[in-house]
Amino acid sequence: MDARLNYFASPTAGKALKHFMAAGKALKDSPLPAATQELVALRVSQINGCAACIDMHTKEAAAAGESPVRLNLVAAWREATVFTEAERAALELAEEGTRVADAATGVSDEVWASAAKHYDEEQLMALVFLVSFMNAANRLNIITQQPAGDYEPGQFH
C-alpha cells in the first residue's frame, strides 16, 4: 500500500509538520505520565482506525517498557484489571473526547470529574491537547492512507 501523499516531499506540509511535531514534542515533555500518554494515543488511534498511529504508539510504548498484556488490553480497558484508576479516567476522557459526533454531548461532567480527581490542571491540559492532537494526526494519516508496519521507535522524536 502506498500513501496518497508524501508529506515529507511537500514544502507546505513540511512547514506545517514542523509546527505540528513541535506540538507533539511539547506534549511528550508535559507532566502527564508517559505511560498514560501512550495508552491514550493508542486508544484514540484504535477508535479512529488509524493503522499508522496504532503501529507507532504500540511500538513506542513497548520500547518504553509497557507490557504486552496492557497494550493488548487497551481496546477493552473497561473489562481489564491491569490499568490504574487514573489511567482508566484518562482512557474514558480520551474516548468521549474522540467520539464527540457519536455522543453528541462531548465529555460528560462525570468523566471530567473523574479525570480531575487523578490529574492536576497542567496534566489535564496536556491530556486534552493530547486527545485533540491524536485525533488530528489520525485524520492526517487516514485521509492520505499512510501505511503501517514499518515504524521504528523514536523515528519521529
Q: For 55-86, what is each residue's pLDDT tens digit?
A: 999 999 999 999 999 999 999 999 999 999 99
Residue 155 pLDDT: 85
Angle at 153 between CA 152 and CA 157, to 5 degrees: 110
Residue 101 pLDDT: 83
pLDDT tens by residue, 24-54: 999 999 999 999 999 999 999 999 999 999 9
Cβ(145)–Cβ(50) below 8 Å: no
DSSP SS3 for 13: helix
Residue 46 pLDDT: 98
pLDDT tens by residue, 90-119: 999 999 999 988 867 889 999 999 999 999
> Phi/psi at 80 (nearest 5 deg)?
-95, 145
> Phi/psi at 137 (nearest 5 deg)?
-60, -40
Q: What are the C-alpha distances in Å from 128 to residues 41, 48, 65, 102, 151?
A: 11, 17, 24, 18, 25
CA dihedral (24, 148, 76, 135) positive or negative:
positive
pLDDT tens by residue, 113-141: 999 999 999 999 999 999 999 999 999 99
Helices assigned H by DSSP within 29-120: 34-48, 51-63, 68-73, 85-98, 100-103, 109-118
Residue 105 pLDDT: 80
Residue 88 pLDDT: 98
Residue 136 pLDDT: 97
5 compared with 1, residue with greater pLDDT: 5
Question: Mean pLDDT across the stretch 149-154?
Answer: 91
